[in-house]
Amino acid sequence: MITIHSRGALAAAFLSLAFAAQAHTTLESQSAPVSSTYKAVLRVGHGCEGEPTLKLRVRIPDGVINVKPMPKAGWEMETVKAPYGKTYDYYGTAMSEGVREIVWTGRLLDEHYDEFVFRAYLTDSLRPDAALHFPTVQECGGGKADRWIEIPAEGKSADDYEYPAPGLKLMPAKATH
């Protein structure tokens, strides 16, 4: 016999499973101060319509420099380097180009979850209290893809979009002593 309390718990469990199946590709830490190093952990919760993920491409936005992706066991990784929109001063070193895209190639079954990691510096050219987005394309078997590239317009949120780009809320730089 199922009690009302048990039915409620059971319904909550089913709802959480339904939500997980619809989950977006997201960043684990969704806020960071400008003028700091940020460790991005990109969470991939599923494949595309039942197909396994075969490739994950992440575009690095302007104002993010010194990107260093973490190699992932069982996956090939490549970076695409290109000029930045301007030259940045990174601890006394002028940086005018760097990683603008990271590509991981491997296999992640639809029923599995994984994380993809990179480190980057958030320059002082970024505006505190703004959002920064990392458009991500998840290529899957059968020619399917989920393009997590929608950047919310002013006054909208990621919840207003079917395929929102993973977003980061920028905070004011930490005070230095």
Q: Which residue has the higher pLDDT, 14 or 79?
A: 79
Is 10 a residue whose pLDDT tops 70? Answer: no
Domain assignment present for residue 98? The answer is yes
Domain assignment present for residue 119? The answer is yes
Distant-in-sequence, close-in-space partners of 92: CB < 8 Å, separation ≥ 6: none
Domain assignment present for residue 13? The answer is no
Domain assignment present for residue 132? The answer is yes
Q: What is the pTM of this model?
A: 0.84
Give the count of domains, the chain: 1
Domain assignment present for residue 16? The answer is no
Distant-in-sequence, close-in-space partners of 75: CB < 8 Å, separation ≥ 6: 104, 105, 106
Query: What is the domain range of residue 48?
Result: 23-171
By C-alpha distance, which of 53, 47, 48, 39 is closest to 105?
53
Q: Span 173-177, mean pLDDT?
A: 76
Return d(Cα 28, Cα 168) in angstroms, integer.
10
Q: Per-residue confidence at 12, pLDDT binned at 50, 70, 90?
A: very low
* pLDDT given for residue 177 in this prediction: 52
Q: What is the per-residue pLDDT across 32-67, written as a single tens digit (0 to 9) for each?
A: 999 999 999 999 999 999 999 999 999 999 999 999
What order of strands is seen across the sheet that includes strand 136-140? 76-90, 93-108, 53-59, 136-140, 145-148
Return d(Cα 94, Cα 162) in angstroms, integer.
39
Q: Span 71-94, mean pLDDT?
A: 96
Domain assignment present for residue 93? The answer is yes
CATH, residue 28: 2.60.40.2230
Is 15 a residue whose pLDDT tops 70? Answer: no
By C-alpha distance, which of 92, 86, 81, 61 is closest to 165?
61
Q: Span 141-158, mean pLDDT?
A: 93
Domain assignment present for residue 114? The answer is yes
Domain assignment present for residue 65? The answer is yes
